Structure 1
């Protein structure tokens, strides 16, 4: 029986644990039989063709020494506010204004002089019109930076924004800001267009900036990087001294002292409350470790689904697998399925608020979506169009490949859930599918009272109907959710809502999914959002990964992540049909699994630059999280991956069919808990 099981002193559906470092004795792990090859999604991005021509003309002007014309074109691009993308480097896209700002930072001296003649007066006017009390105001420096990313005042703006992030504990953002102040490497005349922000000629103390970058690495527990940076620092700034982090002394000595002290923090990371799927908004949460595995106290049945593809499972494998990811909040447990939200007491499993407003057949249910008359998809793949049309005409369920997942988000006494969107049709000529739904429940004072609900069909633009993806995520009074559209082009998007009212604040389209596989069947809702360094990161499907500004929804970058599936002739194999698409953010880097389900890619969150890509040679289902210098992956094996270069540090597991992986598992500060049957 599938269910939520509680054992004394801890919530548990986990059956094995192992240390993060050296493994001594490990039970066998899941065997995954590959499904038949299926066509892969392809993510495409709308390119701004007019701006592309302007960029080409701009580069030609600069190479010819025609700086007046080049700067004029550059400033036109900056103020265009276009939200369409340009290809900055192969597989990496930014908007035209972003590309223009990068180019401004890399102008030749004469071009930079002419550029500053245009933008400096405007930036200075903003500063002069502010009084002394506003000089530490973050909005002031953001305005100055937007006025001109390479203006004479922009380095002061960057430094103030970095210091602001540092003081509020956002160390990764502080580091990405201070890194912008490190002068760029000089390119030759025929070098390709520059691809990163790098302020050209700051008059700030670079010894201090580099020292703060090392402090960032230490505070982020990135000790390998801190070692490397400190070695370089000894050569570049051996005699720099003064006050650093509240201590006077020679900076190389202070940094070495801070690094030595920092290493003692590595094992002191405690657990954090699970407020959303994978623990927190970065999808990289830490749970409190368990002392012992004790007998079950109570169990509540939950919903399960057919795993992978029908006919491709071992004969002795149960017909269903768990799809529910409960959320523990103190002494309360919440969980959901495709149509309902449930709650119980941790102590004894009884209904959370008694039985006053509950269905006696479902005593734990606190909310149920309106009943749909649409057939529920099955786990069987329909192999031909005739079979599919027959199923539709006979009012039979459509089919889907993979395993749904249901989870929740809790913030400020409100519980958020995505319902009625387990799947969406790939071929909309046979109908749009049932409306997806976001709901907000008061679980603080209202005993599960519905505060608001929104259906995707409420949002209609350009003949597109939107469907919600993954689990919504809450931050600072806003709710963020991924979307895909039906009824025309299949767009991927992110939206922000007011968490109190459900009002839509903005919607950012990211690109289009084309050539989506197996249009006879249903597509599982898979896309999840992660938050880090002031950005939202979203896996669009089809290998797309996008970053947008957390506050404004302004586009940052979009990339096409590498795939190791080239040898499959454009076909998709493996666990991708069994896996939600969940980016994991850790210390400024975003980690995503490949579309083929067997590789891992590390992406710099600030720039979209790919740090490394690793083919693991076996199927991967989950990124469990990052601990120290390791990324923990689970699937056909359990892996520890070096976060610096993607090398495999250790790999454990076997093909023993008697012990199958059963759910996701979690990480504590020092242990891995991996569920088996």
Structure 2
């Protein structure tokens, strides 16, 4: 993987055997023992205890008696840091916010859940329309592989939670409920509806297409952003089509009032997934289709108040996975500080300055695109796969390569990469201490540091069965992993199963799983289910206006809200 220059189709990665080098200041006049001591200190403060132990062992080997100032005191480095590391095990963990504001919880896509609520009965459920999917154009055409979902019933819904509010979007509508009661927000529940009639909407969803529709949202402050409309981002080799999707911005302080709508005027342009946002702007990935086989990836900044495009930066151009077939894609950006990161799935990963769109670095890798007549790799099931940022490292699982990469987030330098054995890993859940957790048909734990970095430390279950069904989450050193009929709780460091939560006795099944503000939410292929005991009073101050209380929960057009029977969970619902 190379990390410089403008990318183009077929750009080479590093030659085999090339020594990896880093920029270095010549002949530094600095105390190396003090530098190494501060690296250990930093690892302890950020909670990377395993890395701190390894760095401390190296410090003890190289500078066993070195002394200096640390935290305002004159100390022997090894002794002081060992004491700090021993005490750090009892430090309180940083409290994770309860809201779930975007895909993977936060713009870094590395959100960890703080306190996991108790499992309880289904409180309410709402029907959702089955997202469209279809066969290839011909029996001999390309068939996109699947992992952790069904090819005929994709798990495409990813709701967001803000205080006591939960929102989910379909291709054409956005709905909101009170998280704890299931009452539709603002007396109707449907807070946005596409103006097209059903026949016009149906014409914008091809019967055959590559890819599967995904529905995501993002919330920043009191504004909700969503990518709506046709799921198609590339209509075919001719370069344009009847229409493309669009972005909407809704004001949650004004009962979901539409503030602005952004739709590309040129049919060759398409918006990818829902954006990320900061206090100034909204950032979204875009795609441009030209005549011929190539597509181009861009990143754009949009004024948060007006919906006007402020800048748009070209990242790369490459051949899409298939030709002469409409394609759906829903690429998401990652935001940390003032830097945007984009996994293009076109042979390049980019870092872009949010303030002005300047490219900071681009890392290239050799693509593995489908070739006629040959089996398509399982890694092509990765279609909702933004970069994951964690403590200065960027983790990437691209669709067009079977490996998972770890890059230095500041430079794009390749730190390590896996082999092809993880091609069915479609979700990067997060990092716990020195373990990157990836899931798909099964769970993988990868070492992020030390002599085994980039290697699979555990895989569960180890048999041939493909059990995964949906995206789970990571909380307090435990993985919550959904299958069709259970949620498995697994130790994030060892891969040992801890508990199995049976879903059938709770009258529900698996799907995309999240936990927020005292309850569990399962987004299945055609329903949204909220379950758990839930708090009796808000556990934290409301971050949104008060919900208009009172009144009986009523169905709203297009959805069927079903209050769950009030059952008491039994011990048989969980297996230790």
TM-score by length of 1: 0.62
Identify if the C-alpha distance between structure 1 residues 290 and 544 changes in structure 2 by more than 3 Å, giving closer, same or farther.
same
Tell me what 2:220 maps to.
411
Deviations 1:139-181 (A, max 9, x none): xxxxxxxxxxxxxxxxxxxxxxxxxxxxxxxxxxxxxxxxxxx
8 Å Cα contact 1:303/1:322 also seen in 2: no
Q: Choose the corresponding residue for 2:273, options 458, 464, 470.
A: 470
Tell me what 2:57 maps to.
231
8 Å Cα contact 1:630/1:640 also seen in 2: yes
Alignment of 1:503-518 (within 5 A): 503-514=308-319, 516-518=320-322
Deviations 1:40-98 (A, max 9, x none): xxx99996xxxxxxxxxxxxxxxxxxxxxxxxxxxxxxxxxxxx5699x95279xxxxx
Identify if the C-alpha distance between structure 1 residues 309 and 205 changes in structure 2 by more than 3 Å, giving closer, same or farther.
farther
Q: CA deviation at 1:542?
A: 2.4
Q: What's the Cα RMSD here?
A: 3.7
Identify if the C-alpha distance between structure 1 residues 192 and 346 changes in structure 2 by more than 3 Å, giving closer, same or farther.
closer
Tell me what 1:652 maps to.
460
Output the CA distance in 1 between the equivalents of 2:375 and 2:408: 28
TM-score by length of 2: 0.72
Is 1:91 matched up with 2:13? yes
Output the CA distance in 2 between the equivalents of 1:229 and 1:46: 29
Q: CA deviation at 1:243?
A: 3.2
Tell me what 1:7 maps to.
none
Identify if the C-alpha distance between structure 1 residues 193 and 549 changes in structure 2 by more than 3 Å, giving closer, same or farther.
farther
Tell me what 1:604 maps to.
408
Output the CA distance in 2 between the equivalents of 1:198 and 1:371: 58
Q: Choose the corresponding residue for 1:553, options 357, 368, 379.
A: 357
Q: Choose the corresponding residue for 1:595, options 391, 399, 418.
A: 399
Asked which structure has the greater CA Rg, the reply is: 1
**Secondary structure in 2 matching 1:299:** strand
Output the CA distance in 2 between the equivalents of 1:431 and 1:567: 24
Q: Choose the corresponding residue for 1:613, options 413, 417, 423.
A: 417
Output the CA distance in 2 between the equivalents of 1:421 and 1:233: 56
Is 1:349 matched up with 2:182? yes
Is 1:495 matched up with 2:300? yes
Structure 1: 5+ residue stretches without partners: 1-42, 48-83, 94-190, 355-362, 379-396
**Secondary structure in 2 matching 1:217:** helix
Is 1:366 matched up with 2:366? no
Identify if the C-alpha distance between structure 1 residues 45 and 456 changes in structure 2 by more than 3 Å, giving closer, same or farther.
farther
Alignment of 1:234-245 (within 5 A): 234-245=60-71
Q: CA deviation at 1:366?
A: 0.6
Output the CA distance in 2 between the equivalents of 1:265 and 1:309: 53
Output the CA distance in 1 between the equivalents of 2:59 and 2:230: 53
Tell me what 2:518 maps to.
none
Q: CA deviation at 1:575?
A: 5.0
Output the CA distance in 2 between the equivalents of 1:44 and 1:465: 30
Q: Choose the corresponding residue for 2:288, options 465, 485, 492.
A: 485
8 Å Cα contact 2:231/2:328 also seen in 1: yes
Is 1:440 matched up with 2:249? yes
Tell me what 1:337 maps to.
170
8 Å Cα contact 1:440/1:451 also seen in 2: yes
Structure 2: 5+ residue stretches without partners: 485-576
Identify if the C-alpha distance between structure 1 residues 405 and 317 changes in structure 2 by more than 3 Å, giving closer, same or farther.
closer
Output the CA distance in 1 between the equivalents of 2:277 and 2:190: 23
Q: CA deviation at 1:576?
A: 1.8
Identify if the C-alpha distance between structure 1 residues 662 and 597 changes in structure 2 by more than 3 Å, giving closer, same or farther.
farther
Is 1:322 matched up with 2:129? no
Output the CA distance in 2 between the equivalents of 1:585 and 1:617: 19
Tell me what 1:114 maps to.
none
Identify if the C-alpha distance between structure 1 residues 567 and 655 changes in structure 2 by more than 3 Å, giving closer, same or farther.
farther
Q: CA deviation at 1:534?
A: 3.9
Tell me what 1:531 maps to.
335
Is 1:256 matched up with 2:87? no
Tell me what 2:491 maps to.
none
Output the CA distance in 2 between the equivalents of 1:399 and 1:519: 12
**Secondary structure in 1 matching 2:37:** helix
Output the CA distance in 2 between the equivalents of 1:518 and 1:501: 36
Output the CA distance in 1 between the equivalents of 2:2 and 2:221: 37
Higher strand share: 2
Alignment of 1:106-145 (within 5 A): none
Q: Choose the corresponding residue for 2:129, options 292, 303, 306.
A: 303
8 Å Cα contact 1:304/1:322 also seen in 2: no
Output the CA distance in 1 between the equivalents of 2:445 and 2:62: 34
**Secondary structure in 1 matching 2:274:** strand
Identify if the C-alpha distance between structure 1 residues 508 and 596 changes in structure 2 by more than 3 Å, giving closer, same or farther.
closer
Q: CA deviation at 1:237?
A: 4.4
